[in-house]
Structure 1
Amino acid sequence: MKRFSVQVSSGRDGQDGQPAVGPIYRNCLSANDFPPPDPDLSTAWDSFRLAAEKYPTNKMLGWRNFINGKWGPYVWKTYEQVFQEVLAVGSALRACGAQPGARIGIYGANCPEWIVAMEACNAHSLVCVPLYDTLGPGAVNFIVEHAEIDYVFVQHNKLEELLNPACSSARRLRSIVCFTSFTEEEKQKAGDIGIEAYSWDQFLHMGKENPSDPLPPQSINICTIMYTSGTSGEPKGVVLTHENIAMVIRGLDLFMNQFEDKMTADDVYLSFLPLAHILDRGIEEYFFRKGASIGYYHGVLYSLTLFCFRY
């Protein structure tokens, strides 16, 4: 049987009031030292850009449309199609006044638009801040203010929470972009508190009409701030640099290469764990690195089964 861990230090018995300590194990690849970084991968933007160049026609992001009362088969966008959308969304953010280092909120369930917004942030050295309302009542209001968010991408069914008068920090926002579109009433609510509201298609059009070259980040630049509930008090923001994300991808790559069944560009991942958590974010970044495909679940978690993924 192949072993993937090795003991690097012995444990000790408890004595003189000190607790016992068990032996320490590490992955075989880091028994003596950590593996070196990938020289071609220093930022999250590097990973996506290089994948789009290498696998332009591969299926990248998939989703299912609700047709005639039921969910249809997966529809896909290629790496090249997604790359062009990323360029447009990034340009639109710049046209709205976003400068490198600005905090960009993303509020909604996993979907292709979530990833496009995230990669647009990476392209222009903007900081992606996922908003996650299950952290508790008022968490979105707290995070928008605490992270000093100026722009938010939002799923339509989350608009009510964001535009609720109780979410007082929304008044600091300059623009919100809906993954689909706004009703006139929703646009009016946003306008009443000084927020420019854009549908997804409007934002794409703005970016295409006002193109801006990407401003790629350095490895030391902040990539994302991920909030966690912690053990008490308000949500805690975990600051992750592009180097952090690059090393997550590198670590997953090295780990997966230890198995006989290698990861390939033909693999497909069903995304339903929240992108607001680093586990799913890391997995999806790794799949992009490999030119593989990610299909997003339809948003109804309890209805997921082994047979729901119709590739």
Structure 2
Amino acid sequence: MEMVGTVGPAVPNLDACLESVPKMNYDTLSSKPQGEICIRGNVLFAGYYKREDLTVEVLVDGWFHTGDIGEWQPDGSMKIIDRKKNIFKLSQGEYVIVENLENVFGPVSDHDSIWIYGNSFESCLVAVANPNKQAIEHYANAHNISGDFEALCENPKIKEYVLGELTKVGKENKLKGFEFVKVIHLDPVPFDMECDLLTPTFKKKRPLLLKYYQSIIDNMYQKINNR
């Protein structure tokens, strides 16, 4: 049972190692070795057909850089915990390019920033957004919803409204069903560098966002699975 949730150990005739990814805070020398999974061996493919550019990108000195972020377990098995290029697969096998979706939903005026999350154990996406204070308070006043900004962010009617705006934009951009956000959490406190959630160039630190919002993510998926 110790290997549950892992992809198991390396198979015969296949070498595997981790390569640190500093920009994502994954270090092979940490107490839990983490980094991009690299493999080599005679069982690997020789390269992409007629795509030397892609082959050179992923095959370096005989090592295939998978793009998966792994963590070695004490029993020698490997656990996949992230994607280097922010591409992940949902439980039904559909791949999601999360940055593309955040760019689609980004122009929605009712929030200032959005982080979309999913993983291979779940069938749908959830999100955490920093709502736009002026837009939310305007909607609340127009619909007789009382409360300060923090209370409005917790109000189910406000969440339903913001989610509806995301859905509207998704339909306008002809997103596929699995690319729509199913549940959203509204955080009145913006993602920022002080919480170590953004880089100096304002890019999201996704592993740290997940750690920061883990309990909220778990609650959102629990709500979905209990429907």
Q: TM-score, normalised by structure 1?
A: 0.22
**Greater RCO, 1 or 2 (C-alpha within 8 Å, sep 6+):** 1
Q: Tell me which protein shows more helix as a share of its residues.
A: 1
Bigger Rg, which one? 1
